[in-house]
Structure 1
Amino acid sequence: MTKNLYHCTALCTIAGALAAATPAVAQEAGAAAAPQEGLAEIVVTAQKRSENIQSVPIAVTAVTGAAVENLKAVDLKGLQGTIPNLQINNFTNTPNSAVFTIRGIGVIEPDPFAGNTVSIVQDGVPQYFSMGALLDLFDVDRIEVLRGPQGTLFGANTTGGVVNVVTRQPTGQFGVRGEVTYGNWNRMDIKAAVDVPLVDGVLAGKVSAMHTQRDGFYTNIVDGTDMGRRNVTVLRAYLKYTPTNDVDVTLGGEYGRTRNGAPVIVNGSTGPGYAIYAPAGTMTTDQVLPMYASPCASDAAPCRAPDKYYSARDFGPDKSDMDNYRGTLTINVRNTPLGDLTAITGYKQFKLEEFTDNDAIVGLGIDTYRGTRGWQFSQELRTAADLTDAVKLQAGGFFMKTHYDHFNSVRLEAFAPGLRQNLPQDQDNWSGSLFAQTYIDVTDQLRVQAGVRYTHENTRMIAGTDNYYNASGIGLYCTHEGSCGDTLLGGFRASGSQSWDNVGWKLGIDYKATPDTLLYASWARGFKSGGFVGRVARPQDLGPYDPEKVDTFEAGVKTDLLDRHLRFNLAGFYTNYRDMQVAQNYILPDGKTIGTSIFNAAKAEIKGFELEATALPVEGLTLTGSLAYLDAKYKKFDFLDPTGVIIDLSGRALQNSPKWSASAGATYEVAVGSGKARANVLYTYTDTKLLQGLQGQPLVRIQPTHFLNANLGWSPEDGRWTLEVWARNLADKHYIEAVTNNAGLFNQVSYTSPREYGVTFKFNI
C-alpha cells in the first residue's frame, strides 16, 4: 500500500503541475498553432467519419505525423509509454510479432493461431496477423488509438481497442519532403516523399520511401560481433483519381523489405538447477569473450539489466528476413440515394524467415528455424446517410479471408544430441459480418447512439509434431517440412474445423453541456473469435477453444477551457471479461517437452481511468502529459501448473497490465536569429507488470521504467528546412523488456534499447 501511495503521489504531482494530461505527442498540431488562438482542432475518423476529436464520445488519442517524427520512432513500438493504458511489446524470441495490450486486454502468444484483441488498421484495412503488425512509421498523417471494445464499427478481435494508422495521401500539388538522420550505433535513416499532380484536379500521384539501418545493441561472446542489427526498406505509391467533387478513388501499394539480424535472447537461468545453464566467466575454444553473468540472480527476485548487453549465438545464419506486400483500393461516392458510400478492398501477403539461438549459451542447446507465409484479403462496403435532420446511420458489411502456413524446426541438442522436432501449422479462416450504427439527436445538446454487428466465422486448422534423429549426433536445422536427411522417429497430425456466430453491440449517450464540454457514457459488448491451437504436443491440444466476451461500461468528459488554452479529457471504465482464452502449459512424461493448449478458463474484472490534457500557459510554450490507472485482476482462474497442480489465481494481476502509467512533456518555440528554435522534452513512466508469465513469480516481473526523450532544432523563417539534435532514453536507463520462464529448462530474457542519439536534417520543397 505504501508503494502504491508513493506512485500515486508522485504521478499525481506531475500531472497536476501540467494541468493534467494528454500524451506529449498527442497534440503536436496544437503546439504549432499560435497560442493566442488556442489549441488547434484535431480531426479523426475514430467512428469512420471525420469529426473533431473533442466531439467523439469515446476514449481516443490522436498522434500527429509531426509528433511521430519527434519521437524518432521507426515503428509502432516507438509509441510505448506515450498513450494511456496502451502497452506495446515484443516477444523475447520473435521480435517481428507485436504484443499490443489496451486496458489489460491483449494476446501473449507469437504464433498467428491465437489471434488479436487489439486491431491494427492501416488506411482502413485491418491487419489480421501480429507478425509484421509493428508497422513502420514514416509519412504518417496521424495515428488514432481507440480504447475499449470497438466491435460495432471495427469488427471482431477489437475487445481491447484499435490502433488506426492513416498515412499521408496524395495532395494533388507538387511537393517534396525529405529527412536524413545519423545516430549512434551507426544508425542511418533516409526518408522521402514526392507528390505529383498528373492531371490537374483529376489525377494525383505520390511516391514515398524509407530506409533505416543500425548496428545491434548486443555483443556476441562467440566472435565479438554485434547482435540485433536492423535493416528495413519500405516503398509506397499512390494514385488518386477525382473525376468529380462527389467521387474519389485511391489505389495504394506498399512493399516492405526487412533484413534484420537474428532475434536476440539472453540466457537468464539462475543456476545449475536449470537444464541449460553456463556459469559466468566460462570459456571454451569456441568463444572470444567469457560467458556473461545471468541477468536473473534468483528465481525469487526480478531480473536486472546489466550496463553492457551480451548474448551468444552459434547457430544458423544471422538473419530475420521479412517481406510484406500490401495493396489497398478505396472508393468514395458521396450524395447517392443510399448516402455516402465507401468501399475498401485490401490485400496483404508476407513471408518471414528467421533463425534463433534460443539458449543463448555457447555449445549444444535449443535452436529454432521459423518460416511463415501468409496472406489476407478483405472487403468492406458501407454507407453513411442522414435519414432525417436528427438521425444519422452508418451501415455496411465486411468480409475477410486469411491463410497462413507456419513451420517451426527445433534442434533439441541440450537433451539428446541429434534430436530435432518439426511443428507445422496450416490455417484457413474466413469471416463475414453485417453492422449498423445510428446517432439520434434528441435535442441540440443530447445525442444517443446504438450499434449492432453480427459476425459469422469459420476456421480450419491442421497442426502436428514430427520427431527426427540424426545418427551423427548433430541435429540439423531444417528449413522445410520433411526429413532433411535424418530419420523420422514418429509424429502425428491433428485437424479441426469450426464455425462461430456472434453478436456485439454498443449503446451510448452524450450531452453537450457547453459548446466546449462533452459528457458521455456507453456500454459496449465485444468478443474475440474462437480458434484452434497450432503449436501442439498431443492431438487433443488442438481444441477448438471458444470466443471470449467483454462488456465495458465507460463514462467521460472532454472539455476545452480558458479560451481553448487548456484541453482536459477524462475517461473512467469498468470491464467484465469472461470466457477468457488462456494458454496453459504442462510437462509431458519425458520431463522435457512442454505442451500447450488454450482453454476458456478464466474471468476477469478490469477498472481504471485515463486523464489527458494539453495546456498553452504562455506564448510559445505547450505543456502536455497523461495519467492512467488500471486495476486488472482475475476474478476466477483455476490455473493448471506445468507440473499438473491446479492453482487458484483469483485476485492476481493480468499480464501486461501496469497499475500506473504516465507521461509529461513540454515544447517551447522561440525566435532565434533569422529563424525559430524549438525544444521538446518527453518523460514516460510505466509501473511494474507481468508480460510472459501468468502466476506472477518474482522472476518474470518487469521493473518500473522511466524514459526521457529530448529534441532541439532550428529552422529558418521560411521553414523550408530544419536541423535538429535528439536523444531517446537520454538518461541511458537499462531495463528488462521481457522474461520467459521455461520451468526447469532455461529462462529467456530481452532488454530495452540503451540510449540513442543523433542529428536529423529535414527539408520541404
Structure 2
Amino acid sequence: MKTWFNASSRIALGAAALIAPQAVLAQEAEQQVGGIQEIVVTAQKKSENIQDVPISITAIGGEALATTQGTSLQALQGQIPNVQIDNFANTPQSAVFTVRGIGVIEPDPYAGNTVSIVVDGVPQFFSMGALLDLYDIDRIEVLRGPQGTLFGANTTGGVINVVTAQPTGEFGGHAKAVYGNYNRFDVTGSIEAPLVKDLLSVKVAGIHTQRKGWVTNVVDGSDMGRKNIDALRAYLKFTPGSNFDATLQGEYVNVRNGSPIIVNGSYTGEALYVPPGTQGMYVSPCAGGGQCTAPDKFYSANNTVPDTSNMDTYSGTLTMNWRNTGLGDWTSITGYKHFKLREFTDQDGSPLFLNDTYRRTEGWQFSQELRTNLELTDTLNVLVGGFYLKNHYDHIQAYRLQFAAPGLLQTNLQDQDNYSVSGFAQAYWQVTDRLKLQGGIRYSHERTVSTPSLTTSIGDPAGSNYTGEGNLVIGSFITGGRKSWNNVGWKLGADYEVADDTLVYASWARGFKSGGFTARVGVPADGDTPFNPEKVDTFEAGIKADFLDRHLRVNLAGFYTNYRDMQVAQIYFDTDTATQGNRILNAGKSEIKGFELETTAVPVEGMTLRASLAYLDAKYKTFLYGDPLSGAVIDLAGYRLQNAPKWNASFGANFVIPLGNGAELVSDVNYTYTSSKYYTAILDTPRAKIQPTHLVDASLTYKPDGAAWSLGLWATNLLDSRYLSTVYDSPGYAGLAGYAPPRQWGGSVSMDF
C-alpha cells in the first residue's frame, strides 16, 4: 500500500497546477510527511511558514499563476476572498484594487491608493501601470487588512506583495509558448548563467503577449481593445560571502495597446443617448433604464480618435542584505521607476462626434527602505527601520465636449509632488512555547504640493486640435496648494498554538491614508481645499489549522473595521457651465465586517480539493452627501460601499492521473462566484450595479516521465458567460460600461532546462 509520503510528489505536481485562491505552492520547501506542502511567505518581512503568520493571507505560487494563463494581476479577479481587482471604466491602464470594501475608484494619481502593490520590496505609488505584467513570478502574497506598521501609509485595505523569481546562482531556465483564440500569442521565458561560480550570476526574463480585441467597432468592423506588450527584466546577483549579497535588477515594459473601449451606457433622454436607429449604432447595454446587461455580442464605436494606448515603463531595484552584523540582519532596498502614458479615448462610444479625450502622463518615483531584524534575546525579536519616498507626475487631459458646443475644449494640467518619510518598529515576544505577543508602531510624515489648472477654449469644430493652440480662450484658472500630514499608526496582536498545527490569533491594527488635493479640476473650488486623511481601525481574529496529518487545511478569519473620514471620489457634470467636476469627499464613517474561509484537502493520492467562502458587509454609517445635480443633502447611512460584493466563493479540484511509464496527466477545474456590487456611483444607482458572476476555468497538462517539456490545453470562462466588469454612472450625463472577457481557450508548450 502506498504511503502518504510517497504520494507527496504527485500531490506537489497537482498543486503546481492550482488556479484557485487557496494558498498554494508559493516557494519550494522540503518535503513534509503529509499531503499539503509547507508554504513560505515574507508577509512580516521575514521568511515564515504561512500557517505561523497571524494575518489573513492568500499566497499564489508562480507555477499556479502561470496556469491561469493571465498576463496581468487582473487575471486574479474573483479568485481571492474579499479582493476585487479591476480597472477604471475608461482608463484600462489604471488599476482599481479593493480589499474588504476599501479601495480607490479614480483613474488619476492624486487620489492615491488604499491597497499597496509591492514588487520585490518596492511600493508602487502610481495606480497607472499597477496591473502588473506577470511573468517569471515566484509568488504573490495577498495580505488583507491594514498593514501600515510594516508597509507604510496607503495600506488601509491591504497589500499585494509580488515577489519575482530571483537568481539562484545556478545555470537554468525555462520557456513557454501559448496560442489561443483572438489570435493570442505569448512567449515567456528566463535564463540564468553564473558569470563567476558562487560569486556573480546574471539572469534575464521576458514576455511578449499579443491578441486581438473581443469588441467590434460598428464604424468599420475592426476589433477594439487589442493588446501588444513586451517586457524584459534582468538581474545581476553578487554573493561574495555567506554574510552579504546584493541584487541589482532592472525592467523595461513596452505597451502598445488599442485605445480604451467605451461602451455607451446612456439611458433614453440623457445627454449622450443615441437612438438605436442611428446609422451604425448598437443597442446600449443600459438602454432599459435600469441595471445594465451584457449582450451576446460585444459592440462599441470609435470614429474620432487614434486607436492608441501606449505606455513605457523603466524601473530599477537594488537589494542588499547583511547578516550577522552584531546589530541584526540588515536589508536595504532602493527603488526607482519612471513611466510615460499616452492614450486617446472616444468617450461617447458611438458613431457620432460627441466627446473624446487625449491623456498624457509622465511620472517617476524614488524610494529607500533600510531595516534590521534584531534577535535581542531567545524570546524577543524586533524589526526596526525607516522608509523614504519621493514622487512627481505631470498629466494633461484634453477633453473635447462637442455635444455641449462645437469646438469646445477643456485642457486640464496636473503638476504634483508627493513626499513621505517614516520610521517603524515591530516587536515579537515569545512569552511561552505556545503564546506570542506582538506590537508595532510607525510614525509617518507626508507632504503634497499640487498646482492644477484648467483652460476652456473654442477652436476647430472638426475636432482635430487637442493642443488648444490658436483657440479662442474663454476661461482659465490655476488652483491647488501645499499641505502636510503626520500620523502614528500601530498594531497589537497575540497568537496561541492551541495544538500542534493549530494557531489562533487576534489583532488590532490602525491604518492611515494621507490627505491630498484634487488635481483634475473643472470647478476652482474643487482644487482649492485639500481633502482630509482617512483612518481605519480593524479588529481581526482567526484560526489556522492543519488536520489529519496535513491532509486537511482550514483557515478562517473574521474582522470588524471602523472606517473614518473615508475618501470617496466623485465625478460629476455641471450642466450650468458645461464643465466636468471632480473632487474627493470625506464620508463621515463606515462600518465593515465579514469573514474569509479557505480550505484545502488531499483525500486520496493524486487528488487536491480546495474551496473558499468570503462574506462582506460594507456600508456607510454616517454620510450626509450633497448631490451636485439636485442640490439636496442625502443621508447615505446604510448604503453599500462601492466595489464591495457581499459574497465571494470558489471551488476547485485537481487530479493527477498516471498514464504508465511515469507519464502523468494533470487536470484542473475551478469555479468562482462573486455576488452583485456597485461600481463608480456613490448613490448605488441601478445602472452602477454589476451583476453576479459565475466563471469556470479549466486546464489539462501532459508531462512525460522525466521529460523537461509539457503540453497543455486551457480555457477561461469556459461556459462563455457574458458579463459587465465596470460601469461608471454619472446621472444626467453619461454611463460608461466595460465588458468582462468572453471565453478564451488555447494550448501551450513549455520546457525547463
TM-score, structure 2 normalization: 0.95
2:231 corresponds to which of 216, 221, 234: 234
Counterpart of 2:415 in structure 1 is 426
Shift of 1:28: 4.2
Please show how residues 327-346 of structure 1 align to structure 2 within 5 Å: 327-346=316-335
Change (3 A) 1:398 1:320: same
Aligned residues: 733
Counterpart of 1:14 in structure 2 is none
Counterpart of 1:87 in structure 2 is 84
Preserved CA contact (<8 Å) 2:262 2:347: yes
2:623 corresponds to which of 637, 640, 657: 637
Q: Which amino acid aligns with 2:536?
A: V
Q: Which amino acid aligns with 1:343?
A: S
The 3-state SS of whatever aligns with 1:368 is strand
Q: Which amino acid aligns with 1:389?
A: D
The 3-state SS of whatever aligns with 2:479 is strand
Hey, what's the Cα distance between the residues in 1 that align with 2:211 and 2:541?
A: 44
Q: 1:336-372: CA deviations, max 9, x gaps?
A: 1210000000000000000000001112211000000
Shift of 1:237: 0.2
1:714 corresponds to which of 702, 705, 708: 702
Hey, what's the Cα distance between the residues in 1 that align with 2:38 and 2:250?
A: 30
Q: 1:233-274: CA deviations, max 9, x gaps?
A: 110000010001010100000000000000001101121x11
Counterpart of 2:741 in structure 1 is 753
Change (3 A) 1:32 1:711: farther
Preserved CA contact (<8 Å) 2:22 2:598: no
Counterpart of 1:621 in structure 2 is 607
Counterpart of 2:169 in structure 1 is 172
Counterpart of 1:294 in structure 2 is 284
Preserved CA contact (<8 Å) 1:584 1:640: no
Please show how residues 122-271 of structure 1 align to structure 2 within 5 Å: 122-271=119-268
Counterpart of 2:515 in structure 1 is 530
The 3-state SS of whatever aligns with 2:687 is helix
Hey, what's the Cα distance between the residues in 1 that align with 2:190 and 2:482?
A: 46
Change (3 A) 1:466 1:282: same
Hey, what's the Cα distance between the residues in 2 that align with 1:733 and 1:22?
A: 19
Q: Which amino acid aligns with 1:617?
A: P
Hey, what's the Cα distance between the residues in 1 that align with 2:169 and 2:746?
A: 34
1:408 aligned to 2:397? yes
Hey, what's the Cα distance between the residues in 2 that align with 1:718 and 1:24?
A: 29
Q: Which amino acid aligns with 2:120?
A: D
Preserved CA contact (<8 Å) 1:185 1:217: yes
Counterpart of 2:561 in structure 1 is 575
1:456 corresponds to which of 445, 449, 472: 445
Q: Which amino acid aligns with 2:194?
A: P
Q: 1:71-123: CA deviations, max 9, x gaps?
A: 11110000111111000011110000000000000001110000000000000
2:270 corresponds to which of 266, 271, 274: 274
1:359 corresponds to which of 340, 348, 357: 348
Q: 1:419-453: CA deviations, max 9, x gaps?
A: 11101100001110000000001111100000000
1:727 aligned to 2:712? no
Range moving further from structure 2, 743-752 or 614-623: 743-752
Change (3 A) 1:411 1:187: same
Preserved CA contact (<8 Å) 1:348 1:376: yes
Counterpart of 1:649 in structure 2 is 636
1:47 corresponds to which of 44, 47, 52: 44
Hey, what's the Cα distance between the residues in 1 that align with 2:638 and 2:732?
A: 26
Q: Which amino acid aligns with 2:381?
A: K
Counterpart of 2:313 in structure 1 is 324
Q: Which amino acid aligns with 2:363?
A: G
Counterpart of 1:440 in structure 2 is 429
Q: Which amino acid aligns with 2:656?
A: E
Shift of 1:592: 3.2
The 3-state SS of whatever aligns with 1:335 is coil
Preserved CA contact (<8 Å) 2:167 2:235: yes
Q: Which amino acid aligns with 2:641?
A: L
Change (3 A) 1:108 1:24: closer
Change (3 A) 1:197 1:431: same
Hey, what's the Cα distance between the residues in 2 that align with 1:487 and 1:30?
A: 62
The 3-state SS of whatever aligns with 1:507 is strand
1:101 aligned to 2:87? no
Preserved CA contact (<8 Å) 2:26 2:138: no
Counterpart of 1:5 in structure 2 is none
User: How large is the Cα RMSD of the aligned pairs?
Assistant: 1.6
Range moving further from structure 2, 503-512 or 667-676: 667-676
Q: 1:650-682: CA deviations, max 9, x gaps?
A: 001000100000111011001114311000111
Please show how residues 373-522 of structure 1 align to structure 2 within 5 Å: 373-470=362-459, 472-478=460-466, 483-522=468-507
Counterpart of 2:5 in structure 1 is none
The 3-state SS of whatever aligns with 1:510 is strand
Shift of 1:583: 2.8
Instruction: Percent identity, please.
Output: 57
Shift of 1:29: 6.2
Q: Which amino acid aligns with 2:288?
A: S
Shift of 1:35: 9.9
The 3-state SS of whatever aligns with 1:77 is helix
Preserved CA contact (<8 Å) 1:220 1:226: yes
Change (3 A) 1:209 1:452: same
Runs of at least 4 residues off by over 4 Å: 28-36
Q: 1:371-400: CA deviations, max 9, x gaps?
A: 000000000000001001110000000000
Preserved CA contact (<8 Å) 2:724 2:738: yes
Hey, what's the Cα distance between the residues in 2 that align with 1:702 and 1:583?
A: 18
Hey, what's the Cα distance between the residues in 2 that align with 1:391 and 1:30?
A: 27
2:336 corresponds to which of 332, 347, 364: 347
Hey, what's the Cα distance between the residues in 2 that align with 1:235 and 1:684?
A: 32
Q: Which amino acid aligns with 2:539?
A: F
Preserved CA contact (<8 Å) 2:21 2:80: no
Shift of 1:538: 2.2
Counterpart of 1:18 in structure 2 is none
Range moving further from structure 2, 397-406 or 508-517: 508-517
Q: Which amino acid aligns with 1:665?
A: G
The 3-state SS of whatever aligns with 1:696 is coil
Hey, what's the Cα distance between the residues in 2 that align with 1:29 and 1:401?
A: 32
Unaligned runs of 5+ in 1: 1-20, 284-289
Hey, what's the Cα distance between the residues in 1 that align with 2:334 and 2:682?
A: 39
Shift of 1:587: 4.5
Please show how residues 589-738 of structure 1 align to structure 2 within 5 Å: 590=576, 592-643=578-629, 644-674=631-661, 675-738=663-726
1:561 aligned to 2:550? no
Hey, what's the Cα distance between the residues in 2 that align with 1:377 and 1:297?
A: 47
Hey, what's the Cα distance between the residues in 2 that align with 1:549 and 1:441?
A: 30
Please show how residues 300-311 of structure 1 align to structure 2 within 5 Å: 301-311=290-300
Change (3 A) 1:159 1:392: same
Shift of 1:275: 1.4
Shift of 1:515: 1.9
Shift of 1:475: 3.1
Change (3 A) 1:492 1:591: closer
Q: Which amino acid aligns with 2:521?
A: V
Hey, what's the Cα distance between the residues in 2 that align with 1:573 and 1:403?
A: 36
Hey, what's the Cα distance between the residues in 2 that align with 1:330 and 1:520?
A: 32
Hey, what's the Cα distance between the residues in 2 that align with 1:596 and 1:302?
A: 24
Preserved CA contact (<8 Å) 1:25 1:64: no
Change (3 A) 1:589 1:367: closer
Shift of 1:726: 0.3
Shift of 1:277: 1.8
Preserved CA contact (<8 Å) 2:545 2:553: yes
Unaligned runs of 5+ in 2: 1-17
Q: 1:113-172: CA deviations, max 9, x gaps?
A: 000000000000000000000011110000000000000000000000000000000111
Counterpart of 2:74 in structure 1 is 77
Hey, what's the Cα distance between the residues in 2 that align with 1:589 and 1:267?
A: 20
